[in-house]
Amino acid sequence: MTTRATRGPRRRTVVALAVILAVLCAFVVRLVDIQVVSASEHVQDSLNVGQLGSTHALVGNRGSIADSNGTVLASSVTVYDAQLSPSLIMSLENDENDPPKTSWNEAADQIAAITGQEADDIREGVAANLESDPHSQYYQLKKGLSTEKYLELRDLGLAYLAMKPRETRVYPNGAVAGNVVGYIDNEGVGQAGIERMEAECLAPTDGERTYLRGKHGQIIPGSERVVDALDGGSVQLTINSDLNWYLQQMLAEEAQKMGAKAATAVVVEVKTGKIRAAAEWPSLDPNDLSASTPEDWGTRVFGTTFEPGSTFKAITAATILDTGAANLDTTVTAAGHEKFPNGAVINDAFRHDSYNYTLAGTLIDSSNVAMSKFGTKVDAQTRYEYLERFGVGERTIDFPREGKGVLHPAGEWDSQSLYATTFGQHYTVTAPQLAGAYQAIANGGEKIDLSLIESCTLDDGTVVTPEAPKHEQVVSEGAADQVVRILENVAAQGGLAKQVEIPGYRVAIKTGTAQKTKENGGGYKAGKYYTSMIGLAPADDPEYVVMVTLDEPTRITSSAATASAFQQAMTQVLKTYRVSPSTVPMDELLPKFN
């Protein structure tokens, strides 16, 4: 029988136990919340407390740039700059109660064995650093360490050793297509060329590694959190680097032989509009910018604008034939020098009496006077619209710092430019614009927007391709085919027939000798020319357009200066792409005069 005296203490005991149990439950619930439910949150909070938390950036590599065959033109390597904290070294060394597992003397030996330095030099450097500043937290150990060396140093587990990742860009083929590839700055930002144009594709996404450290720098188990870095995408170009290399070597030789300031070559695939080569001299090696002058850091191929001169007589001929203003039998009477009714004076490059020129003869002799008379059979506004259709005044691929050229409205053409625009003056173009115009002529009048980028392959393997190029029928197929025939007669009957001949292939060409305008825009430079030659082959079934330019040649100042370079360039293109020789003979020669 339980008495009242015994019931009281018993009840108190039960209550006390219940309270203790409730408190224990509360602790258990809180412990589960801290260590399980909200573990990530609390670890993250702890990383920001005192000196226990560490966060290291995980650097993704910038994407690579490759040519059409997969040859790498630019790639990235992550290197590490190692540094020591002298004050922390001494703090740990002087801790008698809990000395480090590895003494500083031993650690210096281990570090030196990995970095390839002398251990004594490291110890002396740290000592000198401390002598000048007892609180020093920075001593540069070694820069540019490989990932392998980084991992070896990291495994030493030294709290006073830090390694900052840094990306370095490598261009394996040096100056091959260097002006197109471009370069990056010290911050890894693209400054020119594809490095700038495709910056979004190439850029990596950095990750991070966070953890808690013990007293001597050891990682506390379970505290490590990693967000992986993502490498940038890989860009594939349409350019063939082997062809580009050949053209660069050839241009260097030809430009110097002709005493020219610079030279360029552009190759366009007729059926696709793809740019297969964009070469120039002088060229840029992105590995060593200091080896080039700043004016060579960009690209003359896309950046230089010039009056196309007689090369654009083919575009005027296409306009005339497409509008029906004349045909291959139509003639005009033209002398080597004429004054027109509106007061304009037009001269040919050579003196001659009046000839009854056909349209073909006009291009074969490259007569400015005859072209003026043929061209003005089409009104100025219509000619302006055809120039627009062929791409004058519009960028081709939005390449960084790409020139746009100038095309004045027809209403602004004065008495002289009314005629000058028929033979490639009073407007400016870039080499790719001119190559794009000839692509349309070679392709039966269908102009395809030029392209330089094949694809961007992201880090996860996703392949992103550019929008399909725009196709536009700028002139009829018949008109385009007739212009090709005229250009083939220029190659066969012109004064450079022997120099541009490629055995086994029918070739169509046009030359251009453009006066260079003064920097202030006030007229032309005396005796200074920008010479060019552009052509397509095989003429019976055009596959490639090749254009070569020389800036201010001095040995030969006419377009003849480019003949050798063009012939070599086109020959190499046909070899590179194994284009079959022509099997259909050339049509009978067109008459120059009637």
CB-CB contact of 297 with 192 (8 Å) = yes
* Residue 50: predicted pLDDT: 44
448 pLDDT more than 60:
yes
Helix axes 313-323, 431-442, angle to 10 degrees: 40
Banded model confidence at residue 2, pLDDT cuts 50, 70, 90: low
* Residue 215: predicted pLDDT: 60
Banded model confidence at residue 47, pLDDT cuts 50, 70, 90: very low
Render the burial of 293-308: b for 16+ CB within 10 Å, e for the rest: eeebbbbbbbbbbbbb
Residue 477: enclosing H or E segment and its boundaries? helix 477-493
Name the region of 521 (left: φ>0; alpha: ψ -120 to 50; beta: rest).
left
40 pLDDT more than 70:
no
Average of per-residue pLDDT values in the chain:
92
CB-CB contact of 456 with 232 (8 Å) = no
Regarding predicted confidence, which is higher, 71 or 517? 71
> In 3-state terms, what secondary structure has residue 164?
strand
Q: What is the pLDDT of residues 517-530, one digit of tens each?
A: 877 666 788 889 99
* Residue 37: predicted pLDDT: 61
209 pLDDT more than 90:
no
Region of poorest pLDDT, from 160-164, 203-207, 388-392, 453-457: 203-207
> Long-range pairs for 409-418 at CB < 8 Å and ≥24 separation?
409/384, 410/380, 410/381, 410/383, 410/384, 411/381, 413/380, 415/340, 415/342, 415/343, 415/344, 416/344, 416/345, 418/342, 418/344, 418/376, 418/380
* Residue 38: predicted pLDDT: 61
Regarding predicted confidence, which is higher, 100 or 315? 315
* Residue 322: predicted pLDDT: 98
State how far the Cα of 51 lies from the Cα of 20, in Å rounded to an integer. Answer: 37
* Residue 166: predicted pLDDT: 81
Sheet strands (E) in 146-206: 161-170
Q: What is the pLDDT of residues 156-186, one digit of tens each?
A: 999 999 998 887 899 999 999 999 999 999 8
Length of the chain: 594
Q: Annotate 284-333 with DSSP letters as a single string.
A: --TT-GGGS-GGGSS-HHHH--B--GGGGHHHHHHHHHHHTS--TT-EEE
Q: What is the pLDDT of residues 383-422, one digit of tens each?
A: 999 999 999 999 999 999 999 999 999 999 999 999 999 9
Cis peptide before 466 (omega within 30 of 0): no
Banded model confidence at residue 42, pLDDT cuts 50, 70, 90: low
Kindly state the percentage of the chain with pLDDT values over 70.
93
Regarding predicted confidence, which is higher, 566 or 16? 566
Tell me which residue of 208, 214, 162 sits closest to 53, measured CA to CA: 214
496 pLDDT more than 50:
yes
Q: Which amino acid is at 170?
A: V
Kindly state the percentage of the chain with pLDDT values over 90.
79
State how far the Cα of 513 lies from the Cα of 528, in Å rounded to an integer. Answer: 10
* DSSP 8-state class, residue 33: I
Tell me which residue of 97, 236, 82 sits closest to 160, measured CA to CA: 82
* Residue 197: predicted pLDDT: 97
* Residue 7: predicted pLDDT: 60
Banded model confidence at residue 1, pLDDT cuts 50, 70, 90: low
Degrees to nearest 5, angle at CA 593 with 590 and 594: 100
97 burial (CB, 10 Å; 0-12 / 13-18 / 19+) is exposed
What average pLDDT does range 501-529 have in this prediction?
89
Instruction: Write phi, then psi, for 165 (nearest 5 degrees).
Output: -75, 145
Name the region of 122 (left: φ>0; alpha: ψ -120 to 50; beta: rest).
alpha
* DSSP 8-state class, residue 35: I
Region of poorest pLDDT, from 33-37, 233-237, 248-252, 361-365: 33-37
End-to-end Cα spacing for the chain: 145
48 pLDDT more than 70:
no
The CA-based dihedral angle spanning residues 156, 162, 164, 165, taken in that order and rounded to the nearest 10 degrees: 10
* Residue 51: predicted pLDDT: 46
* Residue 375: predicted pLDDT: 98
Copy the structure tokens of residue 171.
């261009």
Residue with tokens 């055009």: 542
468 burial (CB, 10 Å; 0-12 / 13-18 / 19+) is exposed
CB-CB contact of 123 with 110 (8 Å) = no
For 120, 329, 364, 441, 474, the CA distances from 478, given in Å and listed in that order, are: 83, 15, 20, 10, 12
* Residue 229: predicted pLDDT: 82
Give the bridge partners for 79, in sequence order. 166
Number of separate helices (H) and strands (E) present in the chain: 20, 21
Neighbours of 139 (CB within 10 A): 20
Q: Are strands 275-281 and 331-334 parallel, antiparallel or unpaired?
A: unpaired
* DSSP 8-state class, residue 522: S
454 pLDDT more than 80:
yes
Region of poorest pLDDT, from 220-229, 331-340, 404-413: 220-229
Residue 89: enclosing H or E segment and its boundaries? helix 86-93
State how far the Cα of 442 lies from the Cα of 507, in Å rounded to an integer. Answer: 11
Regarding predicted confidence, which is higher, 386 or 27? 386
43 pLDDT more than 70:
no
Q: What is the pLDDT of residues 230-264, one digit of tens each?
A: 899 999 999 999 999 999 999 999 999 999 999 99
